[in-house]
Chain A
Amino acid sequence: MVASLACGTSPALAAAPSATVSADQALRFGSFFTDTSGTRTVSATGSVTGSAIVPLTGTAPGPAQFTFTYDRGNNANTNYSLLIAVLVPGAASQISGGVTGTIASFDTDLPGVSALVPGQTAQVTLTGCQRRICSRTFRVGGTLQVARTSGGAELAIPVPIVVTVLAEL
């Protein structure tokens, strides 16, 4: 009697839930010239603006793209939402020769979040999850501040993203 009940209740056999994030595409600020300092903003929606820079031909600017995937660990066919916390741990910066690049602020197209401030978590509710695997692709833009004392540089600044599942709703 006990054995038959255990087999008939699938949650008891469910795998442990898991979450992953993949970096699909880099945040691309493109090529530009600045005399001593300038900024270029590439938004999560892809709009590009700049201050005290001269855009030049090269890689087209565009937002970063990440994909968050949640495996709830069972095949229960019920709608659910996820409450997640998204964090960019700190300001992203790089010094290369006479060029310093810093990304002090990010934005995203995740629902309900306009800005990702380094060091501060942003809570996001992902609705409409139904299947075992719930996946969301989101974009991240940012403002690159450049200070230049000499020469040029090819910047490749690491941008870590940490996503924590706070609750399955």
Chain B
Amino acid sequence: MRARHLLAAAALIGSPALAATGQTATALGQAQAMIISPIIAVSLNDLDFGSLTSSRFASGSVTVGSEGGATYAGGTSPACAGGGACAGVAPARFLVSGEPGRSYTVNAPSAISASGTLVSGGSAPSLAIDALEVHLASHAGSVTSIGELDEKGEDRISVGGRLNVPAGTAPAHYRATLTIMVTYS
């Protein structure tokens, strides 16, 4: 009987030792993030309407397609040998670079204004450029403002438009700024 009491006491005293003080456990978690490289558009060449003549009596226009080619209407005609489109006529072209596989949105104005400098000196009345059309290589054959960067993270944008030439426009050089903006979708 004496022995039983002693053992019971020992068990009671021993129970705090079951508390796992000092037990340490480690887990290796992870934090993940995808930092996307910036998207940029670099101009490869300008939207060029070439050299043209205008009628003194009839307004006209020249339209450069976003995929190339030019059409003349009304009182305008190309001022190049052979009567065809001038060699320099071309849509604006941009190279877009960014994260491969990402879609993006391009914003471009629908119309801009070209300011002129008379051949004889001085400023000429501005000319309107409208019907600006954006074509994305990633969406060949369709006009859309949403593109997708290829496996190299690239896409190409071309922009065409129509230059409106009033009757009697004096000989001048015209220049306009065409700004596009690309952003990830």
Number of inter-chain CB pairs below 8 Å: 169
- For the complex, what is the distance from the CA of A57 to the CA of B37, rounded to whole Å? 14
A166 proximal to B (CB < 8 A): yes
- For the complex, would chain B's binding face be called helix, strand, loop or mixed by DSSP majority? mixed
Which segment of B24-32, B56-64, B116-124, B168-176 sits at the interface? B24-32
Q: Are B11 and A11 in contact (CB under 8 A)?
A: yes
**B interface residues, how many (CB within 8 angstroms):** 33
Known: A12-B14, A165-B20. A101 touches B30 (CB 8 A): no
A47 proximal to B (CB < 8 A): no
Q: Which of B4, B18, B27 contacts A1 (CB 8 A)?
A: B4
Which residues from chain A contact B26 at a C-beta distance below 8 Å?
A: 21, 160-163
**A interface residues, how many (CB within 8 angstroms):** 67
Which residues from chain A contact B15 at a C-beta distance below 8 Å?
A: 11
Closest 4 CB pairs of A and B: A17-B20, A152-B37, A168-B19, A29-B33
Binding site for B on A (CB under 8 A): 1-2, 5-6, 9, 11-12, 14, 16-23, 26-35, 40, 54, 56-59, 64, 66, 68, 70, 72-74, 92, 99, 101, 103, 140, 142, 144, 146, 148, 150-168
Q: Show 10 residue pairs from A and B whose CB-CB distance is below 8 angstroms, ordered by the A residue.
A: A28-B32, A59-B34, A101-B35, A144-B33, A150-B37, A152-B36, A154-B34, A158-B28, A160-B26, A162-B24
